[in-house]
Amino acid sequence: MYSLNDSMAKRSTLFIRIVEGKNLPIKDISGSSDPYCIVKIDNEAIIRQDDVIGKVSITKEVLTAKPQGVDGWMNLTEIDPDEEVQGEIHLQISVQGDGDIPRKLCCQVLEARDLAKKDRNGASDPFVRVRYNGKTYESTVVKKSCYPRWNESFEFELDETLADTGLLSVEVWDWDLVSRNDFLGKVLFNINKLQSAKQEEGWFHLGPDKSKHSEYEGTLGSLRLQLRLRDEVVLPSSHYKPVTELLSQSVCSQLKGNWPDFIMLIDETTTAENRQEVANNLVKLFLGQGLVKEFLDVIFKLELGKTNEPNTLFRNNSLASKSMESFLKVAGMQYLHRLLGPIINRIFEEKKYVELDPSKVELKEAGCAGLHRQQTESDIIQQSSILLQSYLSELLTSVLQSASYCPLLICQVFHQLYLRVQERFPEPEYRKVKFIAVTSFLCLRFISPAIMSPKLFHLREKHADARTSRTLLLLAKAVQTIGNMDTLTCCSKEPWMVCLQPAIQQGITQLKDFITKLVNCHESEDLELQTRMSLQCGTMEKEGFLFLHRTKDKCMPMTSPFKKYYVTLRKDTLSYSRTPHSKKSSFISLPKIQAVEKVEEKCFGSANVMQVISSEDSGQQETLYLNCKSVNELNHWLSALRKACSHNTNTMSCYHPGIYKTDRWSCCHQKEKSDPGCDKTRHGLTLQEWFDPLDPDLEAQLIYQHLRSVQHAMRDKYYELREQQGVQEADSGRDQKKVDGLSKLFSILQDLHDAHAAVEEEERSKNKKVFLE
């Protein structure tokens, strides 16, 4: 998920899921390929050293036209260098002359930014070619720059006979001494429209040469993609206060036994396809209000009221199940990393072959050179069983120890879940149900998925290979069996798991002891508030070893300036030291950070360098360069820092993607070190993750959108439930209050709708005014 925020009011989120591929061409000697995907945003060119199979391009307009999203197979097309363009060009175009004087068409080429890198040195040698009515001019060549400045003007005699069909073409090319020049993009202008406006100036996106058609379309294979673009205009906080207060009151009134209320109606009217997103938004909204524990208690109570068979409790994808799952991901990610990090790292590093299923065992040779013997199936299964029991034992030990550091709020939520289930399914008949209710979330929906897919939970940077994936899957199966607290069912379905039965039985006993400790945490309200605040403010913490270089006025050294430091991002500071526990460290105050941006590859010979630009008390700017191990690590650090600085007020609107060396900027060749910058900053481009800081206004906006879409269903469901409960005439006064409550909710939703309409009207008026000018 990518957040693409152009302003504080507009929040755009792009959801991308790459599902699978088929019919891909062979690229390796082995007769297959090792495919991976790169996601590019905002017209960024695809330039890779690996063999490129093909691409799928989707415009924002296509996604906007389908708010429900796009899900389907899309053909890969050939990557034509003339189509792989990016960047913008700054032009001023005008029509001069009146009356008897022949009119002239003037094109002033000012500068360009973020051009595609076509040369091996990580840059380009761009020049501009301007064409009109058969006449062509070319600008000078700017060497080794993707941010060139020309400030050159070209004039053409305006041909009045071509007023309706004449086009001005502005093309950008990369100059090459030996091979042919590389196309960098073009912009076309309709002369007829230009004559009406007299002058046009601005930054224009460079587009591809669309005159070509790929002959390979449909023969390069295809990808199945799921895409959805969500655009939201977020109003000031005051607009959402009524709906937030109403939902908060609803949670409190539910606990007092009032019926029915808004949470129940939301539960009853939310469809399966929207349930996950609604659960996420509600959890984050109530976390911000300090009422997430009360909200979860309400939906636990609602779910238990609808469940008669304990074996099915919380096993379906209800709003209660999805909300608890979301809560654990938001509030428990640091806990999960501390719990699973060591065992996951051990499995990845050992890369042992583990298999218990006889039908999948691969026989192999073992022993010293000259004394080879082939391992039998029973040998491999026995070794695998020992290894898995070792992994399981280490994991269960970690789980038992984690009761001391599990977040207090999570302990309290599990405590109230435990009590609610015990009340609904009392002992001795239902002795295990209260434990299974906790493990259904902790083991089946949190720990096991993280074991099977550690990359999705940020436990590892890359997905596991086939051998490691199988080990993780077998370990996750064992954890699920322990979570179900039923070894017989597992062994009947998969009899080859029987060798783990003693370890699993011991694990069930250990897990019961852990849950008993977990749910008996009783702390003061002050500690609860402290934990709640740490959830809201401390979620941006990030740390790890990076290569770092800091510069003030000194020029960049010729040799590599980077040194290894342990970098830590906390609530208010970005600090770095030689070791994780070093007493001596340096830091940058987050409010002083003005920009967090990438650095051009040619500057340090690495595509994974970022820069943090900050201001000192004296007003002097300082730049910290961070070199990451991979593009994924780079993107996560960029995203985390941008989110942590999202409320900074002294941010820069433009920056230099190059470095200042030998008396000039490497990107645009400007000699003034204080030059404001040649490319726009991208403060709003971030990755969306579970542990993001809470954004109460956005969550309230998303809840508003959902409530508005189901308000008629809510009204119908209310009267249906009212009829089922057999509301008596004697209760008509109380019932009227509930109807008034619904009317109040619908009135609040209408007020928000009107506020959005006013914002849209104001935006249209602004655009109309700009057009007229």
> Average pLDDT per run of 10 along the chain, which is 773 residues long?
58 80 74 74 55 79 82 82 81 80 87 87 89 91 91 88 74 89 90 74 86 57 85 87 89 62 87 90 90 92 86 84 92 90 94 90 60 75 93 94 90 92 85 89 93 90 88 93 78 80 90 90 47 42 86 55 90 90 87 93 88 86 90 86 87 91 87 87 78 79 92 86 60 56 87 89 66 45
In sequence order, the β-bridge partners of residue 243 are none
Partnered with residue 113 across adjacent β-strands are 88
Would you state the pLDDT for residue 30? Answer: 64
The CA dihedral of 280, 286, 292, 297, to the nearest 10 degrees, is: -90
Residue 270 corresponds to which amino acid? Answer: T
Contact (Cβ atoms closer than 8 angstroms) between residue 521 and residue 408: yes
With a CB cutoff of 8 Å and minimum separation 6, the contacts of 530 are none
Which amino acid would we find at residue 614? S
What is residue 358's DSSP assignment? Answer: G
What's the one-letter identity of residue 618? S
Q: The tokens of 522 are what? A: 């009783």
For the chain, the farthest-separated pair of C-alpha atoms sits apart, in whole angstroms, at 104
Q: How many angstroms separate the CA atoms of 482 and 497, rounded?
A: 12
With a CB cutoff of 8 Å and minimum separation 6, the contacts of 528 are 408, 409, 412
Distances (CA, A) of 455 to 341, 348, 367, 539: 11, 12, 35, 19
CB-based burial of residue 211 (10 Å sphere; 0-12 exposed, 13-18 middle, 19+ buried)?
A: exposed
Q: How far apart are CA 147 and CA 144, in angstroms?
A: 9
Q: Of 555, 653, 650, which Cα lies nearest the Cα of 603? A: 555
Render 615-628 in DSSP notation, one character per residue: E-TTS-EEEEEEE-
With CA atoms as reference, report the closest residue to 125 among 82, 61, 172: 172
Helix (H) or strand (E) holding 134: none
Which of 97-103's residues contact partners 24+ apart within 8 Å by CB, and which partners? 97/158, 102/157, 102/158, 103/157, 103/158, 103/160
Looking at residue 346, its pLDDT comes to 95
SS (H, E, C) 625-648: EEECCCHHHHHHHHHHHHHHCCCC
Spatial neighbors of 194 by CB under 8 A, at least 6 apart, are 93, 95, 105, 168, 200
Query: Using an 8 Å Cβ cutoff, are 11 and 3 in contact?
Result: yes
Q: Are 646 and 625 in contact (CB under 8 A)?
A: no
- 716-719 long-range contacts, Cβ below 8 Å, gap at least 24? 717/265, 717/268, 717/269, 718/260, 718/265, 718/742
The answer to whether 461 touches 455, Cβ cutoff 8 Å, is: yes
- 550 close to 574: Cβ distance less than 8 angstroms: no
Beta strands in 477-556 (DSSP E): 542-551
Strands 621-627, 542-551: parallel, antiparallel or unpaired by DSSP?
antiparallel
Structure tokens at 145: 């720059």
pTM of the shown model:
0.74
Token pair for residue 761?
């009207």
Q: Taking Cα atoms as reference points, which of 594, 588, 593, 595 lies closest to residue 573?
A: 588
Instruction: Identify the pLDDT of residue 574.
Output: 93
Contact 171, 204 (CB under 8 A): no
Three-state DSSP class for residue 571:
coil
Whole-number pLDDT of residue 530: 41
Q: Which two tokens stand for residue 740?
A: 């008034």
In angstroms, the CA 577 to CA 573 distance is 13
- Residue 348's alpha-carbon distances to 384, 390, 469, in angstroms, are 15, 15, 9
- Cβ atoms 740, 234 nearer than 8 A: no
Rounded distance between C-alpha atoms, residue 510 and residue 397, angstroms = 9
What whole-number distance in Å separates Cα of residue 258 and Cα of residue 722?
13
**Nearest alpha-carbon partner for 577 in 591, 563, 589:** 563
The pLDDT assigned to 260 comes to 46
Spatial separation of the C-alpha atoms in residues 773 and 769, rounded to whole Å: 6
Residue type, 131: R
> Is residue 129 helix, strand or coil?
strand
CA distance 185 to 99: 36
**Angle at which helices 466-484 and 377-401 cross, to 10°:** 60
Which residues lie below 8 Å from residue 400, measured CB to CB, with a gap of 6+? 510, 513, 514
Q: Give the pLDDT of residue 373.
A: 63
50 SS3 class: coil
Short-list 80, 95, 84, 81, CA closest to 168? 95
Q: Which two tokens stand for residue 296?
A: 């979860």
Burial of 294 (0-12, 13-18, 19+ CB in 10 A): middle
3-state helix, strand, coil in the chain (%, to 5): 45, 20, 35
Distance between CA atoms of residues 349 and 464, nearest Å: 11
Structure tokens at 124: 């380009």
